[in-house]
Amino acid sequence: MAIQTLFGTVPTEPDLLEKLKAGIQKTRSGFVDRLEDVLSGRPEINAGLLEELEYTLITADLGVATVDDIITRLHARADRKIVADPAEVRNLIREQLLEILRASEVPIHTVMAPPAVVMVVGVNGAGKTTTIGKLAHRFLGEGRKVLLCAADTFRAAAIEQLEVWAERAHVDLIRQKTGADPSAVVFDALQAAKARAVDYIIVDTAGRLHTKENLMAELEKMRRTCERVIPGSPHEVWLVLDATTGQNGLEQARKFTESARVTGIVLTKLDGTAKGGVVVAIARELGLPIRFIGVGEKIDDLIPFEPEKFVESLFD
């Protein structure tokens, strides 16, 4: 197996599946184990079983629309006697979750000539700065040269935090003083990236609520700056979402998608929640690919999202 990157594919790390299984243990316990409890010892599929299933799926944060779809399909199959054994229901749910996750998969943008520009957006507290540091570490591990851009000039601490992560990841950082024009920082960073023959430049942006129109307009200004300096960029815009916020993160994602032209999701703190089913809700309701998931605090605990491996880790 191989993992997609902006410059082609790289081999899958051998321990990726084990790391994923460990990282989503809370979701497995809260969802699949409860699913087994509901299905075990039941002789047939009936209204009572479907009602219990519906409750279990909703509390796993799969999203109402996804749950309605699953229950409707199970009703139809049970009525037509296609499935009569509750034990088969587990496999049907597994297949449907995989189908939803695969449907939102979009090939990552392939950059023909570096630098590849990745803009990272999200609300404060979602783990945006940490994610950037982990992304830098991962790209460096692919043998790529990486540069960070501190375009979050609203918070003094944001620049210092990014500096710490740049040092941990052993990459350079372009910054200006607090209060500087974010687009000016982006301009300087992109010029530096071209001059230094960088492969990846990752742009940190100020944490902002999707309701703050002036800050959303600032994102658009940064996008225009990217396009002017490096035509076709930013090549990817990744929205960082905190998995522990569950369904609340969906509304954030919708608004950001409209305003920032998000191309993918990075879901953080998945190891800290039993409601990892939000992965499925995001995929189904937003139609956005999940690019990476955070499964721990260490610098290498950000892993590429692969639908097959995610579902396998949940059910096997």
Q: 37: exposed, middle or buried (C-beta count within 10 Å: 0-12, 13-18, 19+)?
A: exposed
The encoded tokens of residue 62 equal 């799969």
Q: Kindly report, residue by residue over 53-73, the tens digit of the pLDDT.
A: 888 888 888 888 888 988 888
pLDDT tens digits, one per residue of 122-164: 887 888 999 999 999 999 999 999 999 999 888 778 899 999 9
3-class DSSP state of 165? helix
Q: Which of 225, 213, 283 is nearest to 255 (CA)?
A: 213
Token pair, residue 234, equals 């930013």
pTM of the complete model: 0.89
In the structure, what pLDDT confidence band is assigned to residue 80 with cuts at 50, 70 and 90? low
Give 83's pLDDT tier (boundaries 50, 70, 90). Answer: low
Among candidate residues 48, 45, 101, 99, the one with its CA nearest the CA of residue 77: 45
pLDDT above 70: residue 223: yes
